[in-house]
Amino acid sequence: MKCRVCRGPAVIDVRRHNANFCAEHFLRLCRDQTAKVIDEFAMFGPDDRVLVAVSGGKDSLALWDLLLELGYAVDGLYLGLGIGGYSDRSGEMARAFATARGATLLEVDLPTEYGYDIPSGSRAARRVPCSACGLSKRHLFDKAALDGGYDVVATGHNLDDEAAVLFGNALTWKTEYLARQLPVLPARPGFPRKVKPLVRLGEREMAAYCVLRGIDYIVEECPMAAGNKHLGYKEALNLIEERSPGTKRDFYFGFLARAASRFAEGHAEDQQDLTTCERCGAPASSEVCAFCRLVEKATRTAEPVAITRKAQAG
Ligand code: AMP
Ligand code: FES
Ligand code: ZN
Ligand code: ZN
């Protein structure tokens, strides 16, 4: 196996590109693909302040590293979701990376700052964990970016993630989600710009990138996600990709080039009619935003425990 660029010994094959790469040229490929996407979709420029949401996993840590390597002004944001040891370990990975690179990491801890964690909060609010988690993440990413004066929030969604989400949304024709499944969502009042600079790179490549760059990441998956539909869609696409390398890329980028705008037309009105949440000031479709309603429900049962603890302490 020889590197396509230098003909030296290769360390990885990328079947989608029908090519093998040595470590140096593989890392260059990752940087080039990231830079290409940033440019192609006008995600941000050298003067923008970027906040990268880091989960402690391979994708978001690789993204942070790539953006630093490309010379962008980029800080990290870690949300402590209170998912037991999984959250403790993922936070440690994010902190270790920040320390090693001398980079700034902002942290928001759901249990200490909002009084609930994802496992018990989602039960109390009668939501599936990933839905309570997704809602909390979106709200807190937006808030951290706006409070901190960042121009854009970047997440580590890769090609495998985006193709699987697209596959799921197409199987069930969720047109309102298809309208918004873009690598860039422009800023709107109360919302920062959101970007996904890893959409040209796959999961396996991001793991290889971290290994070659000596980045320690949390390998275990979130325990709350086990068995969810999204993982099933990923497995199905992996079977197809195995037989026809490049299918995921063609599916996702074909959607962006030829289909996404058709869904957007039908959903332009979804963007309107937002008011301001009377509790937190975020954009909302009713008096109180979905996040504040979640916090209220999620902390309702937790409250007596907190009061008892305080009473005992006092
Ligand atoms: P997921 O929804 O877990 O697939 O994660 C998608 C992206 O969201 C990751 O690549 C990160 O950019 C971001 N993210 C996930 N979990 C966290 C977290 N606990 N703190 C900050 N960012 C996160
Ligand atoms: Fe959100 Fe697992 S990371 S439920
Ligand atoms: Zn090479
Ligand atoms: Zn609110």
Digit-coded pLDDT (tens) for 38-96: 999 999 999 999 999 999 999 999 999 999 999 999 999 999 999 999 999 999 999 99
Residue 9: strand pairing partners: 2
pLDDT digits (tens, 9 = 90+) for 114-135: 999 999 999 989 999 999 999 9
Which tokens hold the place of 177? 């989600």
pLDDT at 225: 84
Ramachandran class of 68: left when φ > 0, alpha when ψ lies in -120 to 50, beta otherwise = alpha
Distance 233 CA to ligand 1 centre (A): 19
Q: Residue 171: pLDDT above 80?
A: yes
Distance 60 CA to ligand 3 centre (A): 25
pLDDT-derived band at 202, boundaries 50, 70, 90: very high
Q: What does the DSSP assignment read for 196-208?
A: -TBTTS-HHHHHH
pLDDT at 268: 65
Listed in order, strand segments (DSSP E) in 22-96 are 49-53, 73-80
Measured CA angle at 162 (ends 249, 28), to 5 deg: 60
Q: Using a 6 Å cutoff on CB, does residue 67 contact ligand 2?
A: no
Q: Residue 167: pLDDT above 60?
A: yes
pLDDT above 70 covers a percentage of the chain that reads 94
Distance 109 CA to ligand 4 centre (A): 17
- Taking a 5 Å cut-off on Cβ, the residues next to ion ligand 3 are 3, 5-6, 8, 22, 25
pLDDT at 311: 43
Q: Using a 6 Å cutoff on CB, does residue 78 contact ligand 1?
A: yes
What's the rounded Cα separation, in Å, for the pair 252 and 162? 7
Residues 93, 105 contacting (CB under 8 angstroms):
no
Q: Among the atoms of ligand 1, which is closest to the Cα of residue 161? A: 4
pTM: 0.94
Hey, whose CA ends up nearest to atom 4 of ligand 2? 130
Ligand 1 pocket test, pick from 60, 66, 114, 195 with the greatest ligand atom count within 8 Å of Cβ, gives: 60
pLDDT at 134: 95
Domain boundaries, the chain: 42-219+228-311
Which tokens hold the place of 265? 């037309």
pLDDT at 270: 56
Lowest mean pLDDT among 60-64, 186-190, 197-201: 186-190
What's the rounded Cα separation, in Å, for the pair 76 and 293? 27
Distance 69 CA to ligand 3 centre (A): 19
pLDDT at 271: 58
Q: Using a 6 Å cutoff on CB, does residue 54 contact ligand 1?
A: yes
Ligand 2 pocket test, pick from 93, 224, 229, 294 with the greatest ligand atom count within 8 Å of Cβ, gives: 224
Q: Using a 6 Å cutoff on CB, does residue 130 contact ligand 2?
A: yes
pLDDT-derived band at 274, boundaries 50, 70, 90: confident
Long-range pairs for 185-191: beta carbons < 8 A, 24 or more residues apart: 187/151, 187/152, 188/271, 188/283, 189/283, 190/142, 190/146, 190/274, 190/276, 190/282, 190/283, 191/142, 191/283
pLDDT at 313: 44
CA distances from 98 to 81, 92, 172, 215, 263 (A): 19, 10, 40, 11, 39
Hey, whose CA ends up nearest to atom 4 of ligand 1? 157
Hey, whose CA ends up nearest to atom 1 of ligand 2? 133
pLDDT digits (tens, 9 = 90+) for 231-264: 999 999 999 999 999 999 999 999 999 999 999 8
Fold of the CATH domain 42-219+228-311: Rossmann fold (3.40.50)
pLDDT at 307: 44
Which of these, 47, 158, 51, lies nearest to 98 by C-alpha position? Answer: 51
Backbone dihedral angles phi then psi of residue 53, each to the nearest 5 degrees: -80, 115
Distance 306 CA to ligand 4 centre (A): 22
pLDDT-derived band at 306, boundaries 50, 70, 90: very low
**Rg (the chain; Cα; Å):** 20
Q: Using a 6 Å cutoff on CB, does residue 128 contact ligand 2?
A: no
Ramachandran class of 208: left when φ > 0, alpha when ψ lies in -120 to 50, beta otherwise = alpha
